[in-house]
Chains A and B, each alone.
Chain A
């Protein structure tokens, strides 16, 4: 659908103006210098690869080849006059010659340059990722039946607005930009982020409803380190997990000791735990939480902080956590 529309638009423009709407045509044989920042390394055998594609006037996508995490690559344009370029994530084992549904970055050529952005690639209707989605909240529901409230609240994280009137939407639901079908949000608590010993704990994957409202549970329920054995039946209406006990004897990641204290601080008083929301390829949905692989799109990142039960914690957008780039045709 997208290719057909684009082709139609280009044809209309060509008829109306009698010339190439891109200014400088990007013709076959031109050199395309790609520069992308913010990519994390992928192991092709385990994770898959990044791949660049050009789209010609007919809307046909042609592969340029793979891009590594440096983000820098140079290709010879194999197609006829090129309208746009996009970068995909191709899952491990994907040998299909067509691009996957995981379009990561997209850009249209204007005067021989294309700015690559996740807007319109990851997101629907060319909408940007939301700047102020709402709040995440310290809470551990899975042990309430056993221990009451408050108990081990510092061991859980849930995605709802504890102080609704402090949010733009004014209600209890977090809002996130709707994603294209190839993508899904994933929530994390990360200990010692940005260090070699960082431990990423996923609390599950989730999608907002068609209005952008996050109002359903994630794919792991309460999570397997919750205080109950039937953790998948945790019918919370919000994404989140508890890390209280280990009733089914899973391997606890990173040598952590349960119950977790997400308010834990370093010797200098800084928060050891960071809340992160990533955007993940939907093909990973349902992967075991004990084998987390945070993807390269990490737009939301906030220290957990020391606030007690009921303290609101804002989710904030960080542009540096989102890949972006540029392509220059010569």
Chain B
């Protein structure tokens, strides 16, 4: 069976490339073993395995082939465009859509509290975990049933996209799209949520026109993705993020106070340190010791460093870097780095989903650990300790120690180094730049940054340890 599949796939691939030169086959290959990779909310990849698909040659399969032939005979430039749009990695469109929505909400802070640093990382982790489990579950079923794609099974059907020899039932594109639509609807309830589902259906059904999937592949994949998403949402609704903070800001020398110019009275996500984590045991598991005492030599030195930078010591490059890292929610830059790497390394659907899930989970866990520390010590921001300090942009409205950028970037860099070893040095340098940018901006002391880097490295190590035991190595 495997030999026949490969033979048919090769022929189909040639046809596909002749039909369209845009879609590109993955550079990495994921076969049956991807269905056995460790999952996040499912106990195992086969936990939701759907019933067997209609047999090849059955009446239902024949009817579904007829449908594809009809769709392909009615092809237009518009339908071909949609096919091409969703021909690549099944997770990429939804990851970019989520980034786009978070980009919208980031500059609306603090007026609209959707894309705070921790919440933005949480949204991406929910989305990427859901898509990963959906893809792994679809891979389990694909190799349990090994159904040939329509274009491989019938000479009447053209392959408008590369088929890569992966069985078609259930459709991983449908599974990822359905999971994404549900999670995006949960995460962005103020948006046109119906459009998320419309786009997801369009993406899924484009695979039918493409000759890559039967309708029954799409239906099974869609049901699988929706079921996984429901489990992710059940977990999300109980992760502590809905709990309102009812405490009081502590008072005393060196304690956080609302900062100019907005002087937001309620710090962002004061309870986030207690939110449920993905990999590390809890937000407090790696809690560092307290910051240097106010008035200590280290505190004075680190505050003085900021004052010197502000009094003409900043270079234009430092100012530009500070603004670069402050323009999105901190995790978003790393999400975009990952998208670029996934595309350039041409990862298969399971490998791409895995990369996204680990990176997002690491950054979320890093933020939870960072917020636990921030709201344990309630360290005052530099501008509070010296009102003459001029920052490059406004100081974020939550305590200083440790730096969120440093913590999450350090964790992210370790995950990126594990995923893309050829780029390890580049991403570690990026993490350092992200860290230092907060000093250059005048919004963090150096001790915030060094402690954040150490904390993030611990989170990164924990995530990498899981990566090395998830069955995907």
Contacts and interface: CB of A to CB of B under 8 A. Distances in A.
17 contacts: A144-B111, A144-B112, A149-B114, A149-B190, A150-B190, A162-B103, A162-B107, A164-B327, A164-B328, A170-B327, A171-B323, A172-B106, A172-B107, A172-B326, A172-B327, A173-B323, A235-B262
Interface in A235-249: 235, 237
B104 A310 contact: yes
B186 to A, nearest CB: 17
Main secondary structure of the interface of A (DSSP, over half): loop
Interface in B308-352: 316, 319, 323-324, 326-328
Contacts of B323: 169, 171-173, 213
Contacts of B101: 310
Contacts of A163: 103
Nearest to B101: A310
Interface residues of A, number: 25
B108 interface: yes
A119 B334 CA distance: 40
Interface in B83-128: 101, 103-104, 106-108, 111-112, 114
Interface in A275-330: 309-310
Contacts, number: 50
A144 B105 CA distance: 13
Contacts of A169: 323
B295 interface: no
A155 to B, nearest CB: 14
Interface string A121-151: 0000000000000000101010010001110
B394 interface: yes
A148 B327 CA distance: 23
A141 B103 contact: no
A268 interface: no
Contact of B108 (A139, A161, A211, A217): A139
Given A169-B323, A172-B323, 18 more contacts: A139-B108, A141-B108, A144-B112, A149-B112, A149-B114, A149-B190, A150-B190, A160-B107, A164-B103, A164-B328, A171-B326, A172-B106, A211-B319, A213-B323, A215-B393, A237-B261, A237-B262, A310-B104
Nearest to B327: A171
Contact of A141 (B111, B326, B394): B111
Contacts of B263: 235
Nearest to A145: B111
B104 A171 contact: no
Contacts of B326: 171-172
B316 A211 contact: yes
A169 B106 CA distance: 17
Interface string B256-271: 0000011100000000
Contacts of A137: 107
A166 to B, nearest CB: 10
A239 to B, nearest CB: 13
Q: Would you list the 6 A-B pairs with minimal beta carbon distance, nearest first?
A: A310-B104, A171-B327, A141-B111, A149-B112, A171-B323, A235-B261
Interface string A204-245: 000000010101010000000000000000010100000000
B324 A170 contact: yes
Contact of B394 (A144, A171, A237): A237
B197 to A, nearest CB: 18
Contacts of B319: 211
A184 B354 CA distance: 52
Nearest to B114: A149
Contacts of B327: 164, 170-172
A108 to B, nearest CB: 30
Nearest to A216: B261
A225 B427 CA distance: 47
A155 B104 CA distance: 17
A160 B324 CA distance: 14
- Among B111, B262, B393, max chain A CB count under 10 A is at B111
Contacts of A139: 108
A149 B111 contact: yes
Contacts of A144: 111-112
A161 B327 CA distance: 9
A237 B114 CA distance: 18
A304 to B, nearest CB: 18
B313 to A, nearest CB: 14
B261 A162 contact: no
Contacts of A211: 316, 319
Contacts of B261: 217, 235, 237
B244 to A, nearest CB: 16
Contacts of B324: 170-171
A247 B112 CA distance: 22
Interface string A163-188: 11000011111000000000000000
